[in-house]
Chain A
Amino acid sequence: MSAFIDFLGGLSLLAGSAFLLFGGLGLVRMPDIFNRIQAGTKTTTLGTLLTLLGAAMLHPEWSLKLLLIGVFLIFTNPLSSQVTACTAHYRGIKKSSLTKVDRLADDESESMEKSVSKNPDSEHKDKEEAEL
């Protein structure tokens, strides 16, 4: 029985590292930062969870701590990717030419236009600058 569990643990470790490998490949092959983050987040989450599961099968006495690591991973991993993506978008990092639509950029420029037209001072300044 324990040999079987060892076998399952090894298999889980192998699958985890395979997903991590695909993630690394995705980082190299994807065209822009957003697609790279996508590749990085999903594969590292499942890859690491499978690795933890494999470790728990090989060393059952570690399983509570490994479970805790897994819980923290599930909560922090997507959050950090989301913040990275948000910052990248905010700073206007170039998107791949394959990108079809960008609703966020559309909405941002729309609200920007509104605030500019509401503020007469800025228009005035623009005119002054143009005259100069």
Chain B
Amino acid sequence: MLTNNKSNVFVKRRVLVMFATLLLFWLMLQGSLGFDVIFIGILVAGLIAYLYPSGLSFFTEFRATPEAFKAGFRYYAYFFKELVKSNIRLASVVLSPSLPINPGIVKVRTKLKSKMGRLMLANSITLTPGTLTVELKDEWIYVHWVLMESDDIEAATREIVSGFESYLEVMYG
């Protein structure tokens, strides 16, 4: 009985989160806060969230604690810094006449358990310096690395995963 109750609360929370995300996107797309806009938004977002409660959305497994929000902000700051760094490094590789690349596909391991956390980690790896996620299998992530430094699992994990993992662990677990 207790477990049933718990899972019920979980489903309700998912529906609510889905509803809020959809409504937010709708309002951003409309760019106005008129009564008719909000009314239609609530109607349609409610219907979709009710019909598809299992859909994965941005906040699905987000832990709504102050620490998680703080980690979220730090995560995005770190993410944009890495994105700019990766672009500058790639530009320098592409522009140098000798094309100094050293590619390889390495294997790394993640501590994250949640679906959304792993998805975010894989996406972040793809957008950071010289790394591209090729395949996700349970806790293993296969990464194509343009400027490979080491094919050792431990060393590659430290180099590629750790930076993002520490933030995502707080946000999604």
- Complex Cα distance, B164 from A55, in Å, reads 30
On chain A, the number of residues with a Cβ less than 8 Å from chain B's Cβ atoms is 46
Among B8-16, B42-50, B62-70, B127-135, which stretch is in contact with chain A?
Answer: B127-135
> Nearest Cβ in chain B — how far from A51, in angstroms?
13
Of listed A31, A75, A98, residue having the most chain B CB within 10 A: A98
B51 within 8 A of A: no
Select the residue from A26, A47, A96 with max chain B CB neighbours within 10 A: A26
Q: Please indicate the chain B residues that have their CB under 8 angstroms from the CB of A95 in the complex.
A: 103
Q: A46-B87, A65-B29 are in contact. Are A102 and B133 (CB under 8 A)?
A: no
> Which A residues lie within 8 Å of B1 (CB)?
none
**8 Å CB contacts to A: which residues of B58-110?**
58, 83-84, 86-87, 90-91, 93-95, 99, 101-107
Q: Is the CB of A38 within 8 A of B90?
A: yes
A25 and B127 form a contact (CB under 8 A) = no
Encoded as 1 (CB less than 8 Å from any A CB) or 0, chain B from 3 to 45 comes to: 0000000000000000000000100110100000000000000
**Nearest CB of B to A7, in Å:** 20
Q: How far is the CA of A86 from the CA of B105 in the complex (A)?
A: 12
Query: Which residues of A lie under 8 Å from residue B123 when comparing CB positions?
Result: 74-75, 78-79, 82
Bitwise interface map of A from 104 to 125 toward B, beta carbon under 8 Å scored 1, else 0: 1101000000000000000000
Pair A81/B94 contact, Cβ less than 8 Å: no
Query: What's the least CB distance linking B12 to chain A, in Å?
Result: 25
For chain A, what secondary structure do more than half of its interface residues adopt (helix, strand, loop), or is it mixed?
A: helix
Q: Is A127 an interface residue (CB 8 A)?
A: no
Asked if A104 and B90 make an inter-chain contact with CB atoms under 8 angstroms apart, the answer reads no
Pick from B28, B84, B107, B127: contact of A78, CB below 8 A. B127
B103 contacts A78, C-beta separation under 8 Å: no
Q: Closest CB-CB distance, A60 to chain B, in whole Å? A: 12
Which of B58, B95, B102, B133 is A100 in contact with, Cβ under 8 Å?
Answer: B102
Name the prevailing secondary structure of the B interface residues: mixed
Residues 132-172 of B, flagged 1 when their CB comes within 8 A of A and 0 if not, give 11110000001010101001000000000000000000000
Find out whether the CB atom of B87 lies under 8 angstroms from the CB atom of A42.
Answer: yes
A-B contact pairs, 20 of them (CB 8 A): A25-B95, A29-B94, A37-B144, A38-B130, A39-B90, A41-B127, A42-B86, A43-B91, A46-B87, A64-B28, A78-B123, A78-B127, A81-B132, A85-B132, A85-B144, A89-B134, A101-B104, A101-B106, A103-B142, A103-B151
Q: In the complex, given contacts A78-B126, A104-B134, what are 19 additional A-B residue pairs having Cβ atoms less than 8 angstroms apart?
A: A22-B95, A30-B99, A34-B144, A35-B103, A38-B130, A39-B90, A42-B127, A43-B90, A64-B31, A65-B28, A78-B123, A81-B132, A82-B122, A98-B101, A98-B102, A99-B105, A100-B151, A102-B104, A107-B107
